[in-house]
Amino acid sequence: MNICSFWVSSMKIPFHGCRFSRPFFSLSSSSRNRIMTIQSSSSSTSSASISTESKEKKKENLPWLIVGLGNPGKKYAATRHNVGFEMVDAIAEAEGISMNTVSFKALFGKGLIGDVPVILAKQQTFMNSSGESVGAIVSYYKIPLKQVLVIFDDLDLPFAKLRLLSKGGHGGHNGMKSVINHFKGNTGFPRLRIGIGRPPGKMDPVAFVLRTFTKQEREELSFTLQDGIEALRILLLEGFDKSATFVNSAKKMEQTG
């Protein structure tokens, strides 16, 4: 039997063993154009997806800036106005981050907390000009404001209590006022307030914030700093809401009261 006697279905077209001058089928020009359009569209969509993912990944890799406000120099080192510095020092020690770089009018160090890149900073301008340093760091590293945590002392918060907020005004704090001014009035960045209590009697608040802590206050403050370290870890690794719950819950406030 001739090999060309093999037929496909009821159509008398030899399946193999025979030569054909043309293929079984051909596409019309309109069909080919449709396929090419679909392929091109698919390729464009894929490229756009890769580009978006790349941008998101790049954004995720931007560091957090953790900045504590205070005044430079030994004269102010242990004063109430410098608890922001003390919190950053405590974080640096706990996380093994060396703070030996001086730039942008700040003393700072880079490292990781978990797998999150961070910059720890203590501005070396005086408190009232804090924004000069903080603004320069944010601008240079292109850090989103939602990833800038500013830590500072608060006269209106009971001593040794913490309060974490996602945004807000300066509350009369000159360091925060300077930071907000250098952020062009934008207040949408997180801040960790550390209570230093109110001045006794009719003492001038300016004089009070430059006072050192008593021995008992220093012991109590050490627990607050440890809570602050834990709050930061939760913030970076689990998100703002969980950290705010940890810091601001009634139970926590009672523990520190």
CA–CA dist 237, 232 (Å, integer): 8
CA distance 52 to 44: 12
Neighbours of 62 (CB within 10 A): 13
Which residues have C-beta within 8 Å of that of residue 166, sequence separation ≥ 6?
188, 190, 240, 244
Q: In whole angstroms, what is the distance from residue 125 CA to residue 35 CA? A: 64
Active site residue 81: yes
DSSP letter string over 8-30? Answer: ETTEEEE-SSS--SS-S----HH
Q: Which of 81, 170, 173, 182 is catalytic?
A: 81
Secondary structure class of 184 (helix, strand, coil): coil
Residues 6+ apart with CB under 8 A from 110: 63, 97, 101, 117, 118, 119, 120
221, HSE (Cβ side, Cα atoms, 13 Å):
22
- Residues with Cβ within 8 Å of residue 42, at least 6 apart in sequence: none
Query: Residues with catalytic annotation?
Result: 81
